[in-house]
Structure 1
Amino acid sequence: EFNEVFFDGAVAAEVVGGEGDGWSVAMGLLALERGVSTLVQQIGFAAELERVVGAYVAAGSGDPVLRERLVRQWAELRTMRWNALRTLGTTGDPGAPSVAKLLWGGWHRRLGELAVEVRGAAATAGPGHWAHGTPYELGLDEEQRLFLFTRADTIYGGSDEIQRNIIAERVLGLPKESR
């Protein structure tokens, strides 16, 4: 699910933003991507959270720690929405896309963890066979898939470490990290 694109035979006159401006064009695109798409993405997040809450209610455990964590997830999702709306169309805040990525990446990962915790021991059980006869299709249910997929959320699209470096250097003016 990672992607790399090469443009062979590209002519400098046809380069978006001009030759040597690739980084600023890429940063501009990421800012737009993390603005508008974050709002759309949150619709899916809300549906996932609703499923996890439904599983908690159906289990009837009444675990107060899980209950508190579910409420926290709901509140953080609302905060992400308000932050995305606040920064929508803002081009003057170089840290806004990185902040958004940090917020939703960590939130989604915690939701994946919560999804399997709500289910308890049942979440660790697989189907007992390889689906379709191949070891690459485990036949996972939605909560297991959510848990495993969200491990990558803090890596793809720029890892949390990269986002923090962007904020440190471009927003706070801190010196570059020694390499």
Structure 2
Amino acid sequence: MGSGAGHLAVRLVQAHGACVTGIELSPSQHERAVTSPADVQGVQFVQGDVAEYLAGAEPFDAAYAIGTLGFIDPHRSLSALRDGLRPGAPLILSLLVEHAPATEGGRVLDAGCGTGELAVFLASLGHSVEAADFAEGALDRARAEHAEDNVRWLCLDPYDSRTRPVSGHTPRG
């Protein structure tokens, strides 16, 4: 759900041999997805509404939504996911709760940070932020665009428990 430019979908296919369908509402993000990993077999990108797509599709073995549910009606999308997954299939969600209480200056992990906009925002609120992603290109862009911000950028492989700092970056402190 909300496959964006398709990086995680491609990674799942390449690393695990999964067959992945990425569903993206945004036409521009969908266009990025279908043009960048054009030679990867086992991944299909669909542009459209996830609830409408799931209503007509065969049930899936798993689903993930990284940051997506905060932008769509959860009542509609969660019921569509319930009906669009096989019984017992895992649903992996990552959500940002905007108004959750947090201590100023607290530690925050932005997992799946992409190009770092949320990490930089959280750092501007006084939090100590570690921002992790598996997409090295996105991390390089984040580091280049936000070098002055107090964010520690980490390269993360979601299938390996080790992380490594993005080269050439030490946060201010």
- Structure 1 length-normalised TM: 0.24
Higher helix content, 1 or 2: 1
The structure, 1 or 2, with the larger RCO (C-alpha pairs under 8 Å, 6+ apart) is: 1
Larger Rg: 1
- Structure 2 length-normalised TM: 0.25
